[in-house]
Structure 1
Amino acid sequence: MNFEKLDVWKRSLILSSSLYKAFAGHNDFGFRDQITRSGLLIPSNITEGMERDTSPDKARFLTMAKASCAELRTQLLIAKDIGYLNQHDAQNWIAESYEISRMLAGLIKRVKP
């Protein structure tokens, strides 16, 4: 299965790019690094998983991508609470991370032996 054809990969790539753009000029370097890293790990782990040869390896990396979605949601909630993100952007990205997580859960079921 070609990862570049997966809707979940495409959506996670857009989410990651959006986060980088939104936080590009942010002065809280630690927070910026952590939230963009969480977003970056989602499509990166999908890619790595889908390029693995065995089903257990695929599932392991897809599970890591799913876990990064949860980590990202936590950081988005914090960003909203401390005023780094407005309500609209935070809610949209949180909703998208939930949808990506659901899509990953389905893909994990498909690749597991």
Structure 2
Amino acid sequence: MTTIVEMPLRFDSAIKKIMDSRDEFSKKIKKSQIITYSVEFFHSCFLDDPKHMKAIHVRLYNLQQDQHPEISNYMISWEDVPRNDEEDWNAFQSRSNDQLEDFLSELNKHANVVEGSL
């Protein structure tokens, strides 16, 4: 059986930081049927530089709201990673990339996640 859902009616356009509302984010993950994410990378003028993640944008789709979906946007970025004063920029990028990769792997353990958009 196919259900047709009108998407833009309950769109929450405000992007919330995951670190600021971690409990709310966890509750919404459990209620969401579809979770998508997109990755933003640091840009470099050199092609041989390694790609490091800058931010992860997560969109949660809760489709059981009286046939009107609730769509929530969340974000986690390099700005959420504490930086040491003696740490150079390349080491910090590498460390923040590792933490963002850990976040993605943890998210994949708890939910079915799709990279890209719907």
TM-score range, shorter chain: 0.3 to 0.5
Q: What TM-score, normalized to structure 1?
A: 0.33
Q: What TM-score, normalized to structure 2?
A: 0.32
Tell me which structure has the larger Cα radius of gyration.
2
User: As a proportion of its length, which structure holds more strand?
Assistant: 2
User: As a proportion of its length, which structure holds more helix?
Assistant: 1
User: Greater relative contact order (Cα 8 A, min sep 6): structure 1 or 2?
Assistant: 2
